[in-house]
Chain A
């Protein structure tokens, strides 16, 4: 009984802070306007639920959009502050939106999904639906 977790891969380049820049939008002048990064995630599976921990620094709860549909979990976070690295003394990481998609290979009770944000870390609880939980079979002795 194992769970498959796959990440939708896109063209990505590794940034120094470990996040992957997945896309850049160009504004009308053809300059870099905004980047999207792939946040890092931990995924833990217990008997009752899956728990996802994601690093989303600088994200307000209101700017977070989480959708679960057809086994696809999509996390998108809008980050308002940004910098272009110009005139910086040290410019070691980029700032931009976060986006990541997981395919969850386990039956989830989508009604009961809950999420919380603390200090830039998203914690997502995905409770397993009842028929996916391990069941102990009682053996009756005669």
Chain B
């Protein structure tokens, strides 16, 4: 090329991305490895377990949720926005496929699992199977 334009910021961004990749502290897709994405919050009451994950930019069609026994598996893919030409100054959000399996403390009634998705937050309700629900034992007084 005859005229090469020096673009210091593009250079710097490229360098910073390269460093991120090397030390895998993750900007470019590396957050979306197997196993750790998405971060989950899980809590329970007597009848249900609840799992919540932040999945901005996904819609229900991009997500697969599986429940077998006491395992919950989440799979999905997020595609990056596409632009012809131009320059990326910052790419901090992750893209690509992810898959995560977690073990829950008890068996789940897989038939009745429900999930809702609102503003990029996934909320899953996992009813406990009858066998593992706490049962109150009545103590009879004589």
Contacts and interface: CB of A to CB of B under 8 A. Distances in A.
A94 B60 CA distance: 23
Interface residues of B, number: 43
B42 A88 contact: yes
Contacts of B41: 83, 85, 88, 90-93, 95
A58 B83 contact: no
A89 interface: yes
A138 interface: no
Given A2-B8, A93-B41, A119-B59, A44 B83 contact: yes
Interface residues of A, number: 38
Contacts of B88: 42-45
Given A18-B26, A88-B41, A89-B105, A119 B58 contact: yes
B96 interface: no
Interface of A: 2-5, 16-18, 40-47, 51, 53, 55-60, 83, 85, 87-93, 95, 117-121
24 contacts: A2-B9, A2-B10, A2-B87, A17-B39, A18-B31, A40-B92, A41-B92, A42-B90, A45-B86, A45-B88, A53-B93, A56-B120, A59-B119, A89-B49, A89-B105, A90-B42, A90-B51, A92-B39, A92-B40, A92-B41, A120-B55, A120-B56, A120-B57, A120-B120
